[in-house]
Structure 1
Amino acid sequence: MSQKKNTTSPYYQGDLIFILAIFILISVIAVYAAKPSIALSSYPVKQLIFFILGISIVFFFLYLDLEQIEKLSIYIFIFCILMLVILKFSPESIAPEKNGAKSWFQFGSVTLQPSEFMKIGLIMMLSSVISKANSKDSRSTREDIHLLLKIAGISAVPVSLILMQDAGTAGICMFFVAVMTFLSGVNWKLIIIVAGTGIALVLLVLFLVIHFPDFSQNVLHIKQYQINRVLTWVDSSQQTANEKYQTKQAVMAIGSGEIFGVNINNLKVYVPEGQTDFIFAIIGERFGFAGCTFVVIMFFFLIYRLVLLIDRIHQYNRFASLFCVGYAALIVIHTFQNIGMNIGLMPVTGVPLLFISYGGSSVLAAMIGFGIVYNTSCQLKKYEGYMFK
C-alpha cells in the first residue's frame, strides 16, 4: 500500500502567516482607533505600507539560505553601528534632539530610528559568533572565557551608543544579550560570576540614582529624564504631571473597554501617544478584556512557535537556532515592558509593542527578524523532509 506524499510547499508556514495576519489586522485597527484628530487618519494607511514593505523583506530573505544570512550578519552589524555613529554627530536639522538625546533621523515626514535595526543586527552578529564556537561539551574554561569576552566586546559598542539615546532600549539589548549568553553553553559558574557582577553594578547605579541623583547626573552623566524614570518607577508619587496623565489615561482606557470593548467610533478616553507607546490601551478600550487577552495569547503563540523552532533547528543550524533565541527574548521583553507600562506596573518608556505599535522603524526591524525566522522554519521543513525520504 503506497504512502501518500506530502506535497505542501516548505515555504508555506500556515501558523506564522496566521500570526502575522492577525497582528497586522489588530495593528491597523488600533492605530486607526487611536487617532486624536483628523490629521492622524493617514496613520493606518502608512502602517499598512510599512507592513507591505516588511512582507517584501520576508520574501527577500526567502531567496537566501541560512548560510548566506549568517554571512550578511557582519555587514548588517557594521552598517547599524555606522548609522548610530552618524546619528550621534548629525546636525539637528536631520537629527532633532529630544530630552538631550538624538534617537532618530528626520527627513521631512519620514523618520528612521537606527536603534530598532541595531537590535536585529546585534542578535545576528552574536548568533554568528556563538555558533562558530566549539560545542559546550568540548569547550575548555579558557575557551568559555574567550567566548564571553567576544560577546562582551561585540555588545559593548552598540549598547553604549544606544545608552546615550535611550536607557530603555539599551536595557532591552542587555536582556537579550544575557539570554543568548546563558543559552550559549558557557560554564554556569562563569555565568554566575559575570551575572553577579552585572547585577551588583546595576544595583549600585540604581542606589546612586535614587539616593544621590545630583552625583549621578554630574559624575555618571545620567540624564535627568532617565533619573526621573527610575525615581518614578520606585515611587509613583514622584511621577511628572505628564507621566501621571499618560498612565492614568491608559489605565482608564483599558478599564472603559470592559469585557468586549466599545465601538470604534465611541472611544471616549484620550490616550497620549496612543498609536505608539500606548497602543495596548487603545486595544483595551476598542476590544475590551477579551481583545487584550487575545493579543497576549497571540504573543504567547508566537513565542511558543519560536521555542519549538529553536529546539528542532539546533541540530541542523546553530546560527538559526541562536537567532531565534535572541528574537524570542526581544519579543518577550518588548511585550512585558510595553504592556506593563500601559497598566501602570512599569515605568513609562518609549518601548513599542512589536508588530502592533505604529512606526516604520519598529515594524520594519521586527519584520526583518520575522523574515529570518520564517526562512528558518522553511529550511527546517526541508531538512526534515530530506531526513525522512
Structure 2
Amino acid sequence: MNKQNTSPYYQGDLIFIFLAFFAISVISIYAAGQFAQYGTDAWSRQVIYYLIGAICIVAINYLDLEQLEKLSIYIFLGGILLLIILKLSPEQIGGKDFAPIKNGAKSWFILPGIGTLQPSEFMKIGLIMMLASVIGKSTPRGKRTLEDDIILLLKIAGVAAVPVGLIFLQDAGTAAVCMFIVVVMVFLSGINWKLISLIGSVVVLLVASVLAVIILFPDFAKTIGIQQYQINRITAWIPDNSANSEQTKLQDATSSDKFQVDRAIMAIGAGQIFGNGIKDLKVYVPEAQTDMIFSIIGEAFGFIGCAFVVIMYFFLIYRLVVLIDRIHPYSRFASFFCVGYTALIVIHTFQNIGMNIGVMPVTGIPLLFISFGGSSVLSVLIGFGIAYNASVQLTKYQSYLFK
C-alpha cells in the first residue's frame, strides 16, 4: 500500500493558527486578570475551554462531510429549541440565577458546576450549517431560472427567520451578526444580482430608518420594542447629537458605554509601539477579558501585538477564502459553510476591534478565538473543526486525483 495513503493529512497552517490564537487568548486573559473582573483564574478556565474545543475538532474529523451535512438539521433544530427554552425560562430557580437579564439582554443559562451557556453562540454555527445545506442542494449557479432563485431565496428566509427572530428578542447585536452572515451567503449563492440588489436596497433602507428613529425619536423607538440599553449604545457612539431632544436625559445612561470606549482607547494608546508588558497594565477597562480584550492586547503588547493579531485574522480569512473556492467542486455544503464561517469571523473581528478603537458602537460582541467565554470559544472551534475537516477532505481529493 502507498505510504501516503496511510499518513494523516495534517493541515499545518490551520494548526498554527489554532495554537497562535490559543496562546494570544490565554496570555491576554491572564494579563487582564489583574483587574479581577472575572476572577484571577479566568485564563485557566479558558485553557479548559480550548481543550474541550480541541476534543470537538478531533471528533468532528472522524465524520465525513456528508455526515456533517446530515447532522445540520438536528443541530439547527436543537439550537432553536435552546433559544425557545431560554426565552421561556424564569430568571431564577430555587432562589438562584438560571436565565438572568444582564445589560438588558437575556442571553445566558447559568448552570451550577458548569458556568454560563449562551445558546445564540451555538445557533450561529447551526444556522450556517443549515443554510449551507439548503444552498448546496439547490440547482448550481448558471442553471437556475429566476423562479429557482426566488424559491431558493424563500427557503433561505424560512430557515433564517425563526432563529434570527428569537435571537433578536434576546440580543440585537448577535441578531445583526446572524443577518450579516445570511446576507453574505445569499450574495455568494449565485442568486440573480438584480434580485439581490432589490432586496439589499430594502434592507439598507430599513436599517437606516431604524437608526434614524433611535437617534431622533428615542421615546418612540422604545414603543416599537427597542430596548433602552440599545438606544444608549447608539447614542453613545455618536459624538454630537444636537438634534436628539433626549440627549440630556440619556447622558448619564450612556456614560458607561462612553467610559468603556474611552478607557479602551486610552489603554491601546498607553501601549505605544511595544507595550507595557502583561504585568504592568495601568488603564482599567470594563469587560477587559471579554468585549474589550483587544485593548488589553494593545496596552500589554503595543502596536506590534495588535498588528500581529490582525495579521493572524487576515491569515485565517485568506485560508478560508482559498478553501471556499477549491472545495466547491467536491462539496458545495463545505464550500458554503466556509462562506458563512468566514462571514462570522469577519463581522466579529471588524465590529469588536472597531468598538475598541471607537469607530463602531459597543454591542457586546466578543473577539472570536481570544475573548474569554466558554460558549464563544466552543462554538467558534466547532466551526473551525468543520473547516479543518473540509481542508483535510480537499487534500485527500486532490491526492487521489493526481494518482
**Alpha-carbon separation, structure 1, partners of 2:263 and 2:205:** 36
AA aligned to 1:104 is W
Matched, 1:366 2:380: yes
Whether the aligned pair in 2 keeps the contact of 1:10 and 1:379 (CA below 8 Å) is: no
AA aligned to 1:56 is I
**Alpha-carbon separation, structure 2, partners of 1:5 and 1:221:** 63
Whether the aligned pair in 1 keeps the contact of 2:237 and 2:258 (CA below 8 Å) is: no
Superposition map of 1:11-160 within 5 A:
11-35=9-33, 36-37=35-36, 40-93=39-92, 94-108=98-112, 110-160=115-165
Could you say what secondary structure the match of 2:272 adopts? coil
Superposition map of 1:223-302 within 5 A:
223-235=227-239, 240-302=254-316
Cα-to-partner distance string for 1:59-102 (whole Å, 9 max, x where unaligned): 01110000000000000000000000000010111100124431
**Alpha-carbon separation, structure 2, partners of 1:100 and 1:37:** 23
AA aligned to 1:370 is F
Could you say what secondary structure the match of 2:116 adopts? strand
AA aligned to 1:80 is G
- The equivalent residue for 1:387 is 401
Could you say what secondary structure the match of 1:266 adopts? coil
Deviation at 1:5, TM superposition (A): 7.8
- The equivalent residue for 2:244 is none
**Alpha-carbon separation, structure 1, partners of 2:159 and 2:283:** 44
**Alpha-carbon separation, structure 2, partners of 1:190 and 1:39:** 47
**Alpha-carbon separation, structure 2, partners of 1:15 and 1:318:** 23
AA aligned to 1:52 is L
Distance of aligned partners of 1:184 and 1:167 in 2 relative to their CA distance in 1, 3 Å threshold? same
Deviation at 1:290, TM superposition (A): 0.3
Whether the aligned pair in 1 keeps the contact of 2:236 and 2:258 (CA below 8 Å) is: no
Q: Could you tell which deviates more after superposition, 122-131 or 158-167?
A: 158-167
Could you say what secondary structure the match of 2:128 adopts? helix
Cα-to-partner distance string for 1:193-244 (whole Å, 9 max, x where unaligned): 11111111111222222222212211x1111111222222334676622112
Q: Could you tell which deviates more after superposition, 111-120 or 205-214?
A: 205-214
Whether the aligned pair in 1 keeps the contact of 2:184 and 2:343 (CA below 8 Å) is: yes
**Alpha-carbon separation, structure 2, partners of 1:272 and 1:101:** 18
Alignment counterpart, residue 187 of structure 1, candidates 186, 192, 211? 192
Whether the aligned pair in 2 keeps the contact of 1:84 and 1:115 (CA below 8 Å) is: yes
Q: Could you tell which deviates more after superposition, 279-288 or 197-206?
A: 197-206
CA RMSD of aligned residues (A): 1.6
AA aligned to 2:141 is K
AA aligned to 1:328 is T
**Alpha-carbon separation, structure 1, partners of 2:353 and 2:37:** 27
Could you say what secondary structure the match of 2:265 adopts? helix
Structure 2 gap ranges (5+):
93-97, 242-246
Alignment counterpart, residue 173 of structure 1, candidates 167, 171, 178? 178
**Alpha-carbon separation, structure 2, partners of 1:48 and 1:60:** 18
Identity, % of aligned pairs? Answer: 63
Whether the aligned pair in 1 keeps the contact of 2:38 and 2:289 (CA below 8 Å) is: no
Deviation at 1:245, TM superposition (A): 1.4
- Using structure 2 for the length normalisation, give the TM-score: 0.93
Q: Could you tell which deviates more after superposition, 194-203 or 20-29?
A: 194-203
**Alpha-carbon separation, structure 1, partners of 2:38 and 2:236:** 33
Could you say what secondary structure the match of 2:10 adopts? coil
Whether the aligned pair in 2 keeps the contact of 1:10 and 1:381 (CA below 8 Å) is: no
Q: Could you tell which deviates more after superposition, 154-163 or 38-47?
A: 38-47
AA aligned to 2:161 is A
Distance of aligned partners of 1:100 and 1:265 in 2 relative to their CA distance in 1, 3 Å threshold? closer
Distance of aligned partners of 1:191 and 1:10 in 2 relative to their CA distance in 1, 3 Å threshold? farther
**Alpha-carbon separation, structure 2, partners of 1:249 and 1:209:** 25
How many residues are paired up? 385
AA aligned to 2:204 is I
Cα-to-partner distance string for 1:139-183 (whole Å, 9 max, x where unaligned): 111110000011111111111111111111111111111000000
Matched, 1:214 2:219: yes
Whether the aligned pair in 2 keeps the contact of 1:334 and 1:353 (CA below 8 Å) is: yes
Structure 1 gap ranges (5+):
none
